[in-house]
Structures are given as structure tokens and as C-alpha cells.
Amino acid sequence: MITVEQVREALAGVMDPELGRNLVGLGMVRNLRVDDGQVSFDLALTTLACPLKDKIVAEARAAVLALDGVKAVTVNLAEMTAEERERILGSGQERGAAERFNSIDRVIAVMSGKGGVGKSLVSSLLAVALRRQGAQVGVLDADITGPSIPKMFGVHQHPRGSPLGLRPVGSKTGIKLMSINLLLPSEDDAVIWRGPLIGTAIKQFWGDVLWGRLDWLIVDLPPGTSDASLTVMQSLPLSGVVLVSSPQDLAGMVVRKAAQMAQHLGVPILGLVENMSYFVCPDTGKQHDVFGPSHAEETARVLGVSFLGRLPLDPRIAQLCDHGAVEDYAAETFAPIAERLAETAPQARCPLFMSVQGGRE
């Protein structure tokens, strides 16, 4: 006859791949019941949006089904409370050496569910526009495997160390930058890392970098809704996120996924920006919708968020970014977007059951 103790011992051999500790030791296994070979238990995750959720459930089920006498396993997924999550994450995450010396008023993440829509461009132009207003601004490049921020700003020197932590590299107008590309021997070197290492790097860019006094820190996220985005939303005191889309229906569909992630994790969505919205012919001055009619305002309305504005498809942007001179772009169309965010973005904030059943195959 299978016992609760035997099931618990089996589950103690299953690791949370992100936290590197077993499910029982983390306190994730709850309400464990065994009845005539039928095993059920609650599995409390740090978040139901965890990208590795299916993997954890599958491994937990397999470990229990491997026991003699087990006929079926029911796993009820639950989400930890904020206090439980803080206690668990805090046990393996001490504050960075520099974090207590930093004072950052607003932290804005720029995200989309899809690559190629211009998140890095929007991040850069937002930083430039805010800097032109006289603000102290930094950019944290959280796209660890595809960093582009240093190239766009023409910054190539390595960060200098200090007793308190790494110092970000300043651009020519005084925007503070930190990116994995600034730490590599060559900017062409590939970063071939799994999710936990990427998450660790992002947290170190927050806590081990001496940002000092900033009015704004812009976080440039990679595409998608997986590890990097989850790390930023759970570990950084975000004021909110800015969503970036483009006119295609596909981009709108994917950005809605990103919005759902932010909403599920309780992160405010500050608005939606549509990039590559139109092209103005230099010969005629006529505006052309190169990628079809805009759906941005409709998407923003469906999501219940503010529509911040459109950015044109401008060859000069590409030329300036390629030459590390994004700060030279006039960006008249972006200034109102930055002004609106400056008016609405809040100060940085401090950071249900589903049933999965199955028996033996």
C-alpha cells in the first residue's frame, strides 16, 4: 500500500529548474492525499505564468507514477501568496552590493510578444526623449542573447568596476547604459545561456550595477513571455510596461499575449506604441501604409490601455542606429509619447486553481 511519506519522498527528488531546489523543500507540495492508489496534491508555484510550469508538472507526475501501487495522479496548480513568494525568492537572492546605493524613481519595461517590432528602438528613443527633457536616464538591456542597445548608442567601452559594483557606461548625452555586450571580449560573441543564467544576469544588472540617482530606468526586454520577461516582472520594482506593436494583425495578436502576462503578474500597462506605422515619401510627402492599415488603436481599446502614438518607418533611423548615433535622431513624433509617459507613469513599485489529471499510459 502506497503511503503519503513515500509520495512525498518521490516528490523531493523533483527540482524546480529555475530555483534549483526540490519541490518539497520549497514548500510547493501541499494537501497531499493518497486513497486506494489515487494520489492528489496541490502544487503551489511562484506564479501560474511560470514558463516551466508544464515541465515541473510532468516531472512531478512521472516521479509519483513510478511508485508501485500508484494508479493515477491529480495535480492541482496553485499560486503562492506575495509573502510566500518573497520568502522563497529571498532565501536565494540577496540584495546586490550596489542596490542600496541606487535611487531610481521610475522603472519602465518595453516589451512585445514578437521580435522585430522595434522594442530596442522604442527603448532608445524613449530614453533620448526623456534625457532631452532634462531627466537622468539609464537603459538596462535585458535582451541577454540579442543585445543591441550599445550598438545603437555607439558605446563600446567596458564598464569600470568600483568597490560598490559595476558603473554603467555613459552615452554622449549622459544616458547610462548596461548590456551584456559591454562585458564580452567581442560584441560579436554569442551568449549561449539557459534561462536561469539569463535571469541571474538581469538581476545582477539591477542589483550589482551602480546606477546612482536616476529619474528613469528603461528596461529593454527580449521578445516573448518567457524567462527574461518573467524575471524582470518578478524581480524589478516596475512602474509599468510599454507595449510595442506594428500594423500587422500577427503582431497585434502576439502583443496581446504580452499584455496578458503583464496583467496576470499585476504589472501596470502604461500604453501601446505602434512602430513602422507608415512611410512618408520624400518626393511627394504622401503617407503610405507599407504594412497595411493600423490596428493599434483597436488593439489598445481591446486591452483597455492607452494608445500612446505611432512611429514612422524612417530610413534615417536605421542609418543612425547602424552608426551608433540614435541620439542624433530628431524624433519629433516621439516627444509627445515621452511627455505623456512622464505625466502618467507611477513611481517604481516593490516587487486560482487549475487541475491537471492523468493516470498511467
Burial class (CB in 10 A: 0-12, 13-18, 19+), 233: buried
Domain boundary pick from 71, 92, 113? 92
- How many whole angstroms from its chain centre is CA 123? 13
**119 and 191, same structural domain?**
yes
Same domain, 117 and 259: yes
263-275 pLDDT, tens per residue?
Answer: 888 899 999 999 8
Residue 190, in any domain of the structure = yes
Whats the size of the chain, residue-wise?
361
Shared-domain flag, residues 78 and 138: no
**Domain annotation covers residue 353:** no
Give me the domain span that covers residue 72: 4-92
Do residues 194 and 297 both lie within one domain? yes
Any idea what the CATH number is for the domain that residue 72 is in? 3.30.300.130
Give me the pLDDT at residue 361, please.
Answer: 44
Q: Is the pLDDT of residue 50 over 80?
A: no
Number of domains into which the chain is organized: 2
User: Where does residue 316 rank: exposed (0-12), middle (13-18), buried (19+ CB within 10 A)?
Assistant: exposed
How many angstroms separate the CA atoms of 70 and 109, rounded?
46
Domain check: are 223 and 293 in the same one?
yes
Q: Are residues 19 and 145 in the same domain?
A: no
How high is the pLDDT of residue 94? 52
Residue 360 has a pLDDT of 46
Report the alpha-carbon angle 127-306-129, nearest 5.
Answer: 15
Is a pLDDT exceeding 50 seen at residue 292?
A: yes
Please tell me whether the overall predicted TM-score, pTM, comes out greater than 0.75 for this model. Answer: no
Residue 41 · residue 75 · CB < 8 Å: yes
CA 24 from chain center: how many Å?
28
Does residue 355 belong to any structural domain of this protein? no
- CATH code at 290? 3.40.50.300
pLDDT tens sequence across 107-147: 999 998 777 788 999 999 999 999 999 999 999 999 998 89
Same domain, 225 and 311: yes
> What does the pLDDT read at residue 93?
47
Cα 274 to Cα 298: distance, rounded to the nearest angstrom: 11
Same domain, 131 and 44: no
